[in-house]
Structure 1
Amino acid sequence: MTRRFRPGNQNVVLNYERPTGRMIRVGHARVCESRRSMGDGRRRSWQLIKLGPGLLVAGGCLWLALRDVDRTMVVARLSSANWALAPLMALLLLVFFWLKAWRWRLLLEPVSPMSVRDVAGSLMIGFMANNILPAHLGELVRVHVLGRTHDVPRAAVLSTVVLERLFDLLAILALLGVGLLSGPVLPSRYQQAAVTLAVATCVLLAAAVTFVCAADRCLRIFEWVCNRCLVFLPQRWRLGLVELLASAAGGLVALKRPRLAMGIVAASVVKWFVMALMVWVSLKTLGAVDVFAASLVVVGVIAVVILLPAPPGYVGVIQGCFSVVLAMYAVDPNVTVAASVYYHLWQYVPVTLVGLWCLHRSGLRLRDVAGVQTDAQSG
């Protein structure tokens, strides 16, 4: 029912909804609804635009993986796989995530002492978010979830995540170098790449030790370099670089304790070695032989390439990495693609299901995770 009032010289139309008894200003409500729909449409368009680079990368990787492959042979390989190795694959996956949770607990100990169980839920929710959300937002999601469920300052949690990336980089470079040097004799350009990686690892390790011992001085030097030598970059980017390094400095407290530092380094190396074992088991399951060194290289390449824009779950990216690396070792392309699919299923299905279960146990919903995504993208 519509009623018309005349307050002064203005006509105001009110709509009375009998079931709820609410009074709604029709004209104002329509304007707000129109603006809201326009904002939602722009946000969706922007999200689709951001998906573009990831889809291009995935498409290129899939083309590399499938260009010399017989699809029927891939299906035949998967159907004749040695499924007796599946329990070993499950055990390795469990060990990998336990090591990752244990390392995160060590990094968080100076901030807020917790158990592995306390951090494991947030960790799995973050990996689940990487599998179903774009833009690699899993790290932000797990920071948000841990801060919300355990009342930990998010800035401190973020600093530990930044430090994780540093240790992962060192471990990955080391495994890449070992894989390239310990396998079959490769062309000289690959041997040179192994030497370069070894040198880069030593340089980064020395820089990390220097940063731990003199974090404040390093921050001042880095800020001076950004303001004097990187003036061609937008100021927002320069501030972001300084804040990123400052966040890493905030998590360095754990490295000043020998027990924590040794545990963090050991967990970083062992967990990536376990991931290489998962690649090796995947290849063995599909019938490949003499591919252990190649598995180390595959893991290193995957860890680097997934930093590029990619669709949720890294679809196509993993297949492309398998194909490019294993082509150097003369592995049958059909076996390579089948093994990459097998490996990818283990990384996607159990991780996503466990992450959704942990999300349910935490009392949060996917809407809350999507809220973190929206905030990050709008920022």
Structure 2
Amino acid sequence: MKKDRYNNQWTGARLAVWGSTVVGVLILVVLVWRLDWSLLVNELGRIRWAFVPGLIGMTLLTFWFRAIRWRHLLPKGERFSRTCLLEASLVGFAANFVMPLRVGELVRPWVMSRWQAIRFSSALASIVVERVFDVIALMVLFGFCVGRLPSVPDWVVFGVRVMGLGGVGLLLFVLVVYVQGARMIRVGERCLERFLGHRFPRFVAKLVDLMEEFVTGLKGISSLKDLAWAVLWSTALWGSLVMLYQFGLWSFGVDDSWWVGASVCVMIALAVAAPGAPGFIGTFQLGTVVALALFGYSEEFGMAYSLVLHALQVITVVLAGVFVLHRRTMSWSDIRQRSGGA
């Protein structure tokens, strides 16, 4: 019975891998099929190569901010060096670029648990909390960006601004959960059992487990001071991401509002949020083209911009990840075995 269950899980994982890869490739094919190739080549020719080192440096800077924020989300994070956190982050995101289904989210806490005295479950719980911080930042940034888009109906602007306020409300909720975690779990469990328990008991049990995992990760933050620093470093991280995509526009000779770079950042983040093909193939391009089209840029420019920015990020992060693995005497086979067993 256990062997059959393992085989079913392995088959399901393989189907998910192939399905996500096919979807990503199809998205890319559809986008490319619509383009005028001569215009695409012209747009690619606009890149100013002197900006490339700056784009690489800014890409690495975002990972430095991730590492510092992660330090404040881990239990007794001050005992972990920033360099180790940076290396684990680079390896995890490199795995996202070369493997499907965002397995880097599991790889990152796994390598951290091998390099430092921390349990995998504790490191993984911190990643769950980290994603909540990213959702909050994305909601707030999205709320600001939509208000700057041309020709957007007032009701859309109002709705998205409400979502932005919802992000602020979610942040306040996180603070309450941090202070009163056990009580919030009990209240949430009672509400779920009252309204859904009779009809969906298994679903309720999974939601309760998810709440407990989130609270465990949140309580792993050593103090309210660390929680405040995590919020500040999240702001710095997303600000650096906006700067990266705005700098990318400058590298093509485009001097437009910072809200264009911010909108590109938001749309890419939304497009690649779901587990997909290795390297976010297709979804990265889709988010970029849609964001730039909202500001009147051609699909050819959007595709040229996405190909350059995407390629630089993939090459930079994967090479950095390979360097870290070599320095740590690890290999990609170790990472694949972990992703297969996760």
The farther-off stretch of 198-207 and 168-177 is 198-207
Equivalent residue, structure 2, for 1:108: 74
Matches of residues 282-301 of structure 1 in structure 2 within 5 Å?
282-301=248-267
Q: Is the 8 A contact 1:283 1:336 kept in 2?
A: no
Q: Is the 8 A contact 1:65 1:324 kept in 2?
A: no
Matches of residues 209-288 of structure 1 in structure 2 within 5 Å?
209-231=175-197, 232-233=199-200, 235=202, 237-253=203-219, 257-288=223-254
From 114, 119, 123, the equivalent of 2:89 is: 123
From 131, 156, 167, the equivalent of 1:201 is: 167
CA shift, 1:62, in A, is: 2.4
Cα distance change on mapping 1:302 and 1:225 into 2, 3 Å: farther
Equivalent residue, structure 1, for 2:291: 325
Cα deviation, 1:323-356, whole Å, max 9, x if unaligned, reads 1122111012211110111110122111011112
Q: 1:241, 1:262 → 2: CA distance?
A: 27
Cα deviation, 1:44-86, whole Å, max 9, x if unaligned, reads 7544311244235424532563354212322232233111222
Q: 2:155, 2:243 → 1: CA distance?
A: 26
1:178 equivalent in alignment to 2:144 = yes
Percent of aligned positions that are identical = 24
| SS of residue paired to 1:136 | coil
User: Match for 1:126: what amino acid?
Assistant: G
Q: Is the 8 A contact 1:159 1:248 kept in 2?
A: yes
Matches of residues 30-41 of structure 1 in structure 2 within 5 Å?
none
Q: Is the 8 A contact 2:150 2:294 kept in 1?
A: no
- Structure 2, unaligned runs of 5 or more: none
Cα distance change on mapping 1:282 and 1:233 into 2, 3 Å: farther
| SS of residue paired to 1:152 | coil
Cα deviation, 1:101-149, whole Å, max 9, x if unaligned, reads 0111122252672110121111111111111111211111111111112
Q: 1:175, 1:64 → 2: CA distance?
A: 29
From 24, 39, 52, the equivalent of 1:58 is: 24
1:78 equivalent in alignment to 2:41 = no
User: Match for 1:277: what amino acid?
Assistant: M
Q: 1:312, 1:174 → 2: CA distance?
A: 28
Equivalent residue, structure 2, for 1:89: 55
Q: 2:129, 2:41 → 1: CA distance?
A: 41
Aligned length in residues:
339
Cα deviation, 1:153-176, whole Å, max 9, x if unaligned, reads 111111211110111111111111
Cα distance change on mapping 1:65 and 1:282 into 2, 3 Å: farther
Cα distance change on mapping 1:186 and 1:120 into 2, 3 Å: same
Cα deviation, 1:273-324, whole Å, max 9, x if unaligned, reads 2111211222222233424212212212222232223101001101101111
The farther-off stretch of 327-336 and 245-254 is 245-254
Who wins on radius of gyration, i.e. which is larger?
1
User: Match for 1:294: what amino acid?
Assistant: V
CA shift, 1:268, in A, is: 0.5
User: Match for 1:206: what amino acid?
Assistant: L
User: Match for 1:292: what amino acid?
Assistant: W
TM-score for both structures, normalised by structure 1: 0.81
Q: 1:145, 1:105 → 2: CA distance?
A: 15
Cα distance change on mapping 1:63 and 1:287 into 2, 3 Å: farther
Cα deviation, 1:78-99, whole Å, max 9, x if unaligned, reads 2331112222212211211100
What root-mean-square deviation, in Å, do the aligned CA atoms of Structure 1 and Structure 2 show?
2.7
Cα deviation, 1:22-45, whole Å, max 9, x if unaligned, reads xxxxxxxxxxxxxx9x99998875
User: Match for 1:331: what amino acid?
Assistant: Y
Q: Is the 8 A contact 2:113 2:119 kept in 1?
A: yes
Q: Is the 8 A contact 1:288 1:331 kept in 2?
A: no
Q: 1:101, 1:117 → 2: CA distance?
A: 8
User: Match for 1:142: what amino acid?
Assistant: R
TM-score for both structures, normalised by structure 2: 0.89
Q: Is the 8 A contact 2:122 2:220 kept in 1?
A: no
Equivalent residue, structure 2, for 1:357: 323
Equivalent residue, structure 2, for 1:149: 115
Equivalent residue, structure 2, for 1:18: none
User: Match for 1:71: what amino acid?
Assistant: W
Cα distance change on mapping 1:110 and 1:42 into 2, 3 Å: closer
